[in-house]
Amino acid sequence: MSDVSALEARINTALGRIETGLGQLADAGSADAGTDLQGQLDEERAANAQLEERVKALKERQDTKIADLMSQVTAQKAQLGALDTEMQRLRASNADLRDVGAQLRAAATEAVATPELINRAMMAEVEALTAQRASEAAEVDAVLSELKPLIAEA
């Protein structure tokens, strides 16, 4: 952005010199001075056009980089959202597994483990394993999405 400001300052300085030169031309009124100033004016216009092209190219490059960064941020937000969802699911299933395990231990100490309690414990364990697998899959997807651009560059 500072390049754009510097170029703009140079353009304004050039326009100021042109204005000063035109004022001198009006004062002098000579044909030689007019020709000389016209040549300077043409040079300044050419320099001004070059600077404007450079500013335009810098702006386009900056806009492209900003768009690329915004798309990366959006993709990473989606990945983090998926990871967070899977982590919450994993935490909930682990909490349920701990609760059922405690109930099962209590029932085992009293020697009254019912089939329903054992079945619930097995279901909780299966759910915990499923949630863990989904969490690991989300992590692998996040890692792969970061590696794909690096592999493409290589």
Maximum mean pLDDT: which of 55-69, 84-98, 126-140: 55-69
- Report helix, strand or coil for 35: helix
Q: Kindly tell me if the per-residue pLDDT of 64 is higher than 90.
A: yes
Specify the pTM. Answer: 0.48
> pLDDT tens, 35-45?
777 888 889 99
CB 84 within 8 A of CB 118: no
> Looking at residue 154, what is its pLDDT?
75
Backbone torsion region of residue 113, taken as left when φ is above 0, otherwise alpha when ψ lies between -120 and 50, otherwise beta = beta
At 2-33, the pLDDT tens digits run 777 888 888 888 888 888 877 776 666 555 55
Nearest CA among 71, 81, 14, 69 for reference residue 45: 14
The highest-confidence range among 45-54, 106-115, 133-142, by mean pLDDT, is: 45-54
Show me where the domains of the chain are located: 2-153
Q: How far apart are CA 153 and CA 146, in angstroms?
A: 12
